[in-house]
Amino acid sequence: MSTSSTEAPAVPDLVRVFGGPVVTMLARADEALLGDVVDSIGGPVHVREIVQRRDRWTLAGDPPGRIARSTAGAPWPGTAEPLLRRTLPAHDKIRIRRSVRYFGRLKGHAQDVRSHNPVKHGCYTRVDGYTAACSCGWKAKDVYASKGKASEAWLGHKAGQFTEAAYADNSALLWVDSTEVVHPHLPHVPWTFKKIVSGPRHGQGIAEASLDTLTLDQTRRVMAAWQTVLDADNRETFEEYFPGRDDTPRGPRPGHTRLRLSGDGGGNARVILTADIDGPPAEETEGGPVSAEPRLTVKPSSARYAEELRLNPGKASADGHAGWACGAGASLLAGAETPGPGRLGTHHGVIYVCIGHQAAAEERIVGAGYEPRVDPAPPSHRWDPWPCGHVTAYSTAALAALSAQPGPDEARDLASPHRAPDAAEDAER
């Protein structure tokens, strides 16, 4: 899991931007207003331009709090083009942050601002401040210096009621807001929200984001970052390349890569990130491979866990390291096997390797007397890879043979293809 930081959060201080309390809610794209703050792939957008087309809306603006820039050579108040844009179907539900001053009366909530500790002195009354309360029973704990400050405290309560109602309606909205506060440096994504309306997960909120406008490498980085805060579903998380050319109603389409990250965010929320990007992976571009394989990154938590396993091996398996220095994540599983006794043979251990160390791993396995079997790592291993060279063995003999520090011959057990001599054989010699 990533940790929070003292640097600027993903969403700036919107109370300062709006000049008062802020309501977080879900609304259709065609319900957005000038001055709202919405999400985009580049970050929050303080909307100052709305373009309506037949079935799509474009919301454009600048990061919240940014001063409007003037166009070179144009008289004031001409402004430059917006820095950020988001185009989406008019009926998609998106997260909108809006000033509470745009909202009318709320049933059951009436403002009650009163003088605190009033004392009459002749023809005037002296007060020690003002208190704020609501007809619903809410009371502010603080005493405010002016009626305006007390009134704004009540507006904060009113904004909270609208926001809590939005959270109750869609659990995914609450999860996204909470996650951005706890992990402020997660990449920005353009969220849309839905709900499951039938089945065993009825009422569960869904937060979706399409990353089609990013490059393949950028998409991988964004998904890898968000996976650290999700309980990923490996059955629905994948990356697939489809070679071209496909005939579509809009004409032939070249090869494309589809990526999907799906998982549970907790609090009855489902999170889905998708991308469908034209073009082949880097290793299949014209002119030969640019790189043998995208370099997988090992998370610090995974590296620490692998080190703990090597220091404290379990009873059913033991962990070690092949001995070479490589900081890449493992994209291949090099298994050490022997024939029989069953039809599938016996699996003795595995070395997790990158493509660059595949030959070294096979040589180590063959030299140990096993048969190598190299398979691509499954999607779950690619999202959270083991360090290259990590060894998991199922016998002391296999661990000694595959790791960098082979043990004495007497450490080998019956699972090894190299059986240690017994006492009768020693006597015959």
Flag whether pLDDT at 375 surpasses 80. Answer: yes
Listed residue (107, 94, 97, 96) closest to 158, CA to CA = 107
Mean per-residue pLDDT over the chain, rounded: 82
Q: So what's the pLDDT on residue 316?
A: 67
* pLDDT confidence tier of residue 106, bands split at 50, 70 and 90: very high
Q: So what's the pLDDT on residue 425?
A: 41
Residues 285-332 pLDDT 10s: 444 333 435 567 787 877 887 887 778 777 667 888 888 888 888 888
Q: So what's the pLDDT on residue 295?
A: 63
List CB contacts of 423: < 8 A, sequence separation 6 or more: none
Flag whether pLDDT at 194 surpasses 70. Answer: yes
* pLDDT confidence tier of residue 223, bands split at 50, 70 and 90: very high
Average pLDDT over residues 240-247: 73
Flag whether pLDDT at 412 surpasses 60. Answer: no
Beta bridge partners, 130, equal 115, 144
Q: Is the CB of residue 50 less than 8 Å from the CB of residue 59?
A: yes
Q: So what's the pLDDT on residue 171?
A: 94
Average pLDDT over residues 63-74: 72
State how far the Cα of 296 lies from the Cα of 327, in Å rounded to an integer: 9
* pLDDT confidence tier of residue 409, bands split at 50, 70 and 90: very low
Kindly report the CA angle at 387 between 324 and 238, in degrees rounded to 5? 140
* Most confident stretch, 209-213, 244-248, 377-381: 209-213
Give alpha helix (H) positions in 93-215. 147-169, 171-182
Flag whether pLDDT at 421 surpasses 60. Answer: no
Q: So what's the pLDDT on residue 286?
A: 40
Q: So what's the pLDDT on residue 410?
A: 37
List CB contacts of 330: < 8 A, sequence separation 6 or more: 296, 352, 353, 354, 377, 381, 385, 386, 387, 388, 389, 390
Cut 0.85: pTM above it: no
Q: Is 423 in a helix, a strand, or coil?
A: helix
* pLDDT confidence tier of residue 11, bands split at 50, 70 and 90: low
List CB contacts of 72: < 8 A, sequence separation 6 or more: none
pLDDT over 90, % of the chain? 42
